[in-house]
Chain A
Amino acid sequence: MILDLFSLLAIAAGGFFFLAGTVGLLRFPDPLTRLHALTKADNLGLGLVVLGLLPRVDWPQGGLKLIVVWLLVLLTGATVGQLVARVAQRPGPRP
């Protein structure tokens, strides 16, 4: 019961960060600020959802796989962020 409550709280918090990421992506004025908003959804949104699901899976394989997924997204997210920032600095049509 307490674990269920924990799951729901963590997942709800994760959902909030996805909301923040999407709103930022849609409303922020230029690519670099949008990138700032997006990374929050990437790292924290998924991280909190994974955290919320951890008590609901079998250990060790299920839980470890979940954590691996999150770590992978963290690493690639940071790297892709660099790529995006580089692309954003190219000359091109501005919003």
Chain B
Amino acid sequence: MSQLFGLAAAALVGLGLYGLIVHPEPLRKILAFNLLGSGVFVLFGVIARRGAVVGTGADPVPQAIVITAIIVAFAASALAIGLLLRLRQTTGDAAPPTGDGPP
């Protein structure tokens, strides 16, 4: 049953990576990176679910790591967005920070 979510998580990682590579807009790259991350988290969740023993629904160790990871991922996104906005402010509207690749 949890394998279904495992396969979905694998697909999420692929989707996020694709968006991260090909999307020209930096904000969308950040979004895609978050998708990639959530795929990895769900993978952890599936492994936790498989590690369930009598009395618990899932192995608590991967769960705790995922909770920590969600917060750290948020902090990283906030920093990335801060950098992006500052870059836009510095380079001005006429020269947006995107070219062919990441800024």
A and B touch in the complex (CB under 8 A): no
Q: Which residues of A contact B (CB under 8 A)?
A: none
